[in-house]
Amino acid sequence: MRAVVVRGHGPAPDQRVETVPDPQPGPGEVVIDARAIGVNFPDLLVIEGKYQFLPPRPFSPGKEVAGVVSAVGAGVGRIKVGDRVMAQREYGCYAEKVLSPEATCYRMPDAMSFEEGAALGLAYQTSHFALVDRGAYRAGETVLVTGASGGVGLAGVEIAKALGATVIAGVTSPEKGELCRRHGADHVIDLSAPDLRDSLREQVHAAVGKRGVDIVLENVGGEVFDGALRALAWCGRLVVVGFASMRLPEVKANYLLVKNIAVVGLQWSDYRERDPGWVQRVQAELYALYAAGKLRPHVSERYPLERFADALARFGARGVLGKMILTPG
């Protein structure tokens, strides 16, 4: 089979697609013939050696895939050959065939395309756990999503709206704002405005009143984080999801006391490893929301496997709208 192989950390264009042996399933494992592969910002960080978890080299990057099960190992009972599944891995999905534990495979609804299956994985799981578990969302609250037009951000907009929130999308262009409105955002604020420490809060107050927002799903970091923290309502919660700006923010603890606010972090892969049953239940809920027409994964760009580096370069250009997909074969 063909797979992207990282033999030494460095720029994505330095990596190559190689012919490697087909994977063989061990106990509790399945092999998936890939039809659509999700492209995520952490993939780039893993390739460059900048992520918090780095697999032993050589390895194939990639954290999610949708396809058809072609082989199963001993002890596999829930998944069978021929099933259409989406799978979540720490790495290994930039390949024509993907080896995955049965526990992290999710049987897709019949009406769901492989592209939708790959898109309705990591980003939606991340946003759901950020909002519901770490953010302790309660029906009817107001939610601000920063970096709202990206994969995780747009998933956060959709999930928050599906669960009954008033949703504010923070974006950097009218095009991105319009995309977020089409996916459920009630209000849009401009994250390219000057002096975000004050102007972000002013925009939030103009949209929903001076009380502010109950929850922030924060994907950007830097000055956006600073402004979002100031836009929280009393007893509000800010969930740190990522740092697309690559600038790590800092929090002065006394500010948390003044407004009884909380800042919490999310590392979604810990849920996958520690409690895969919980993740299975959340995926079932996401599929139910999809079946009800409340979630509509937005696949904006498609690349053949050989052009994986071109896809990853889009993150550096801050030009990704929704989800990008690699198509093997």
Closest CA to 236 of 200, 262, 203, 265: 262
Q: What is the DSSP string of 217-261?
A: EE-S-HHHHHHHHHTEEEEEEEEE---TTS------HHHHHHHT-
pLDDT in tens, the chain (329 residues): 999 999 999 999 999 999 999 999 999 999 999 999 999 999 999 999 999 899 999 999 999 999 999 999 999 999 999 999 999 999 999 999 999 999 999 999 999 999 999 999 999 999 999 999 999 999 999 999 999 999 999 999 999 999 999 999 999 999 999 999 999 999 999 999 999 999 999 999 999 999 999 999 999 999 999 999 999 999 999 999 999 888 899 998 998 999 999 999 999 999 999 999 999 999 999 999 999 999 999 999 999 999 999 999 999 777 789 999 999 97
Q: What's the Cα-to-Cα distance from 121 to each of 241, 278, 282, rounded to whole Å? A: 16, 14, 10
Strand, helix or coil for residue 272:
helix
Does residue 139 belong to any structural domain of this protein?
yes
pLDDT score for 319: 77
pLDDT score for 124: 98
Q: Is 52 left (phi over 0), alpha (psi -120 to 50) or beta?
A: alpha
Q: What is the DSSP string of 176-219?
A: HHHHHHHTT-SEEEETTSS-HHHHHHHHHHHHH-TT-EEEEEE-
Does residue 169 belong to any structural domain of this protein?
yes
CB distance 52 to 127 below 8 Å: no
Does residue 279 belong to any structural domain of this protein?
no
pLDDT score for 218: 98
Mark whether 93 and 141 lie in a shared domain.
no
pLDDT score for 246: 83
Alpha-carbon dihedral angle through residues 323, 324, 328, 329, given to the nearest 10 degrees: 110
Residue 181's domain comprises 126-268
Q: Name residues whose C-beta falls within 8 Å of residue 308's C-beta, 6 or more positions apart in sequence.
A: 4, 12, 15, 17, 39, 94, 326
Mark whether 247 and 303 lie in a shared domain.
no
Question: 111: domain CATH number?
Answer: 3.90.180.10
As a whole number of angstroms, the distance between CA 98 and CA 297 comes to 22
**Structural domain count of the chain:** 2
pLDDT score for 244: 86
Does residue 291 belong to any structural domain of this protein?
no
Mark whether 24 and 140 lie in a shared domain.
no
Question: 138: domain CATH number?
Answer: 3.40.50.720
pLDDT score for 316: 78
Mark whether 236 and 256 lie in a shared domain.
yes
Mark whether 33 and 141 lie in a shared domain.
no
Mark whether 202 and 253 lie in a shared domain.
yes
As a whole number of angstroms, the distance between CA 283 and CA 287 comes to 6
Q: What is the DSSP string of 121-137?
A: SHHHHHHHIIIIIIS--
Provide the whole-model pTM.
Answer: 0.96
Does residue 275 belong to any structural domain of this protein?
no
